[in-house]
Amino acid sequence: MPRKKAKKSRKPVKFKTITIKVTARQKKSLLNYSKSRRTTPNKLIKKAIRPLLQNYAGLEVGNISQAKVKQLELF
């Protein structure tokens, strides 16, 4: 009987914590909305921002210099 190949274990995913502040009314709205959709507030927020952050993981941010404004020289 042939042996089955052992599965390679995946590299563990690293998670980071982000803290945001919302008003009491915003929190109540978030909880009510997530309860009506049968999900958690955390999953709701992650799903909302995923399209904005999906393509920027490998983006290198360099020094973006402001274009120098040439002033009118009178003298």
For the chain of 75 residues, list the mean pLDDT of each consecutive stretch of 10. Answer: 78 93 97 96 94 82 63 66
The Cα–Cα gap between 11 and 15 comes to: 13
The Cα–Cα gap between 56 and 3 comes to: 42
């920027």: which residue's tokens?
Answer: 56
Predicted confidence at residue 24, as pLDDT, reads: 98
Predicted confidence at residue 7, as pLDDT, reads: 80
Q: Quick one: how far is CA 3 from the chain centroid?
A: 43
Catalogue the long-range contacts made by 11-20 (C-beta closer than 8 Å, 24 or more residues apart): none
Overall pTM > 0.95: no
Token digits of residue 68: 């120098």
Given a contact cutoff of 8 angstroms between Cβ atoms, the answer to whether 44 and 34 are in contact is yes
Predicted confidence at residue 36, as pLDDT, reads: 97
Predicted confidence at residue 42, as pLDDT, reads: 95
Predicted confidence at residue 33, as pLDDT, reads: 97
